[in-house]
Amino acid sequence: MAENRLMQSTANTPYKAVVIGGSTGSLDVLLPVLSVLKPPLTFSLVVVVHRKNTPNSPLATLLSVKTTLPVREVDDKDVMKPGCVYLAPADYHLLVEHDGTFSLDDSEKINFSRPAIDVTFESAADVYGAGVVGILLSGANADGTRGLKAIKQAGGITVAQQPATAQVAYMPQQAIDNAAVDRVLDVPELIQFINQLNEANQAL
């Protein structure tokens, strides 16, 4: 069924954005995934990770070291472009706007988190519909489940990390239990899946 959903989506619209959310333990997945993704990417890769707001955060630099793809921490009104990795800044919610830009919001925390994964998932679903893929990784709270529901309702593809492979299984397990995700993948399968999305876009 998941394979059919992938084929149906690519037949109707290219994938515009792959949005990856995670918390504790998610870097254990992000780093190996980024290191082997095959450029050029035909979509934007948006990363939302729960992290502390500390001066000179090294996360963007750390991600950059692991990939040949351009990585940037998002500034307000940045234009979203395919082929780039965009990182949500600490202490701001990250939204995707209908004019193809990002916006930052410092309103109250959601699920005790800012940035909240739900906010980015929901805004991407609203803008891109069936052209968005949401991926939820390791973490210790329920952030992301509501956003995956929005992506699924909009016709996009929803993915959760295999809980048995997560440092903290709670976040992906909540999505599996409550959001009816399309795929449950371990790290090698996730790498293959994202590369397949890219190949599907290239074939359009």
Q: What local confidence, expressed as pLDDT, does residue 153 receive?
A: 96
Provide the pairing of β-strand 71-73 with 93-96.
Answer: unpaired
Q: What local confidence, expressed as pLDDT, does residue 8 receive?
A: 45
Catalytically annotated residues: 23, 50, 143
Alpha helices, DSSP H only, in 51-144?
Answer: 59-65, 117-128
pLDDT 10s digits, 154-199: 999 999 999 999 999 999 999 999 988 999 999 999 999 999 999 9
Cα(138)–Cα(100) distance, integer angstroms:
29
User: CA 130: distance to chain centroid?
Assistant: 14
How many domains does the structure of the chain reveal? 1
Cα(121)–Cα(136) distance, integer angstroms:
10
pLDDT 10s digits, 58-88: 888 889 998 999 999 999 999 999 999 999 9
Cα(57)–Cα(52) distance, integer angstroms:
9
Cα(6)–Cα(148) distance, integer angstroms:
16
- Asked whether residue 13 carries a pLDDT value surpassing 80, the answer given is no
142 with 172: CB under 8 angstroms?
A: no
Give the 3-state secondary structure of residue 128: helix
> Which CATH number belongs to the domain containing residue 115 in this structure?
3.40.50.180
Residue whose C-alpha is closest to residue 109's, from 91, 95, 83, 125: 91
Structural domain including 160 reads 2-203
120 with 21: CB under 8 angstroms?
A: yes
Q: What local confidence, expressed as pLDDT, does residue 39 receive?
A: 86
Furthest CA-CA distance within the chain = 45
Cα(141)–Cα(35) distance, integer angstroms:
27
